[in-house]
Structure 1
Amino acid sequence: MPTEVRRERALLVEILAPVTDRPEVAADALLASNRDLGWIVTADSRVLAMLCRDRAVVAHLERIRALLALSLRHQVFDRPLIDNIPKVVDYLNFEIGRRADERLVVLFPDAKGKVADELYLDGGADTVVVCTRSILLRALLTGAVGVVLAHNHPSGDHTPSKADIAVTRELARALRAVDVRLHDHLIVGNGTGYTSMRERNLL
């Protein structure tokens, strides 16, 4: 077993010891199939429950995940969004980057550039349905002056598809009609990096 894997296993065993009398068994189940600690702390609780049937272990990991998510949220929501894209990407990778299905996150910066609200929309196994009406309504209700879209590609390939580009441009036109700017559309995937459609001049 490689040194790094042994260290991760030892740390996970230590983390789980307070909530189960078989922390080694739980750790091995969670780390099976070459999974790592990064995957475990970002995985959906339903997936964790399929790997480990100890409810106390799953609940414990959910609490850890919630704490980490709160820390990342503070780094995103407490400062101007557009000048903080690396932290935004960290937050998105944590929230949706390792999901098995696609999910769209919409961030709504206010006039000061800070996130006033966020919206999550689910997609299918390999597509996200963008609900333009919901996004427009939330932007108007929150007084947002801009929107940042983000979604994940479960395959790990964060290259925008033709559908991604078409839907993004359609939404940008709809937002312009109500004087709201689409700042960017970010695509993340399995912690392998990200693509900014703004940087690629695809908006």
Structure 2
Amino acid sequence: MRSAEDAERAATDSGGGGEDPGEDPHYVDHRERLRRRFLDRGADALEDYELLEMVLFAASPRRDVKPLAKLLIRTFGDLWGVVNAPPERLRGLKAEGVSLGTDNAVATVRIVGAAALRALQQRVIDRPVLASWQALLDYCSAAMAHEPTEQFRLLFLDRKNTLIADEVQQRGTIDHTPVYPREVVKRALELSAAAVILVHNHPSGDPTPSRADIEMTKEIVRAANAVGLIVHDHLVIGKGGRHTSFKSQRLL
């Protein structure tokens, strides 16, 4: 026997069918049921593709967007991957005649990712990061895990370990980022920073540090020690919420 929620979801999923909403009242009901379920019970009551459908309502107000929402999730792996996908890849996908072919539609999807990332950043900027370490990890993962190439990010802290600057110093290839210790130290001095956290991502998804990562970190630590700059940690960001901390692994 199906639960009431299963029955409601089945009724919701039966709506649409790609017909014009002006001619098919079931399509209108489908969107209204999703909105009502979201407002009454929150995001946990919806599948990822259903949340994405609600975003796509604004981008395509008169078409069934469920097939496109499901295709986007399959293509980019998860909801976060969709809202941070490159614009050119978003434009190129089509399901049952519906696509994100316009700049307005693409912007509608990507603004969700941008707003979420800004909110995560605001949870850590101007705050003592060592006391809110998980929030920092969440932000770094959101900002970097889905990047197609390596980024090297510097998080500068003051003497109270408050985050005063968050900067991407270098962008590289799929498996390498050139990093110059003198530039790290120079920027720290410009900001009057007392400490720094190094962060870079592995587009492969595996956060295991490479030999080059380890050697590069040693060079930065040596340069930082020369001017009294503390290197608190070096984080390697992978996919699926995985990361490696040099400090935890006793590599620092």
Map of 2:120 onto structure 1: 72
| Structure 1 residue 143 corresponds to structure 2 residue 199 | no
| Equivalent residue for 1:168, pick from 217, 236, 239 | 217
* C-alpha distance in structure 1 between counterparts of 2:241 and 2:165, whole Å: 26
Q: Aligned partners of 2:112 and 2:167: how far apart in 1? A: 23
Task: Answer whether contact 1:43 1:99 (CA < 8 A) is retained.
Answer: no
Which of 39, 52, 58 does residue 12 from structure 1 map onto? 52
Amino acid at match of 2:199: A
Q: Secondary structure at the match of 2:190?
A: helix
Q: 1:99 aligns with which of 125, 147, 153?
A: 147
Q: 1:87 aligns with which of 131, 135, 141?
A: 135
* Residue in structure 2 matched with residue 40 of structure 1 by the alignment: 82
Identity of aligned residues (%): 33
After superposition, the CA RMSD in angstroms is: 2.1
**1:101 and 1:58 mapped to 2: Cα distance?**
21
Which residue does 1:113 correspond to in 2? 161
Q: Take 1:127 and 1:82, find their aligned partners in 2: how far apart are those partners?
A: 28
1:48 Cα deviation from its structure 2 partner: 3.1
1:94-113: CA deviations, max 9, x gaps?
10111121111110001121
1:195 deviates by 0.6
1:90 counterpart letter in structure 2: D
Q: Which amino acid aligns with 1:155?
A: S
- Matched letter for residue 91 of structure 1: Y
Q: Which residue of 2 aligns with 1:61?
A: 109
Aligned pair count reads 200
Describe the SS at the equivalent of 2:148: coil
- Which stretch of the first structure deviates more once superposed, 165-174 or 123-132? 123-132
Q: Report the TM-score when normalising by structure 1.
A: 0.89
So what's the TM-score if we normalise by structure 2? 0.73
- Residue 97 (structure 2) aligns with: none
Is the contact between residue 160 and residue 195 of structure 1 (CA under 8 Å) also seen in structure 2? yes
Question: Do the aligned residues in 2 keep the contact of 1:19 with 1:57 (CA within 8 Å)?
Answer: yes
Query: SS state of the match for residue 32, structure 1?
Result: helix
Q: Secondary structure at the match of 1:200?
A: coil
Moved over 6 A (4+): none
List runs of 5+ in structure 1 lacking aligned partners. Answer: none
Cross-structure match for 1:133: 182
Q: Structure 2 counterpart of 1:163, which letter?
A: A
Is 1:182 the counterpart of 2:222? The answer is no
In the aligned structure 1, how far is the partner of 2:140 from the partner of 2:89? 19
Are the structure 2 counterparts of residues 88 and 43 from structure 1 closer, same or farther at C-alpha, using a change threshold of 3 Å?
farther
Can you give the 5+ residue segments of structure 2 that lack an aligned partner in the other structure? 1-9, 11-43, 94-99
2:178 maps to amino acid = V
Letter matched to residue 111 of structure 1: R
Taking a change above 3 Å as real, the CA distance of residues 97 and 27 of structure 1, as seen in their structure-2 partners, is same
The 1-side partners of 2:132 and 2:88 are apart by 31
1:1-22 deviations in Å (ceiling 9; x for gaps): xx99x82222211111012244
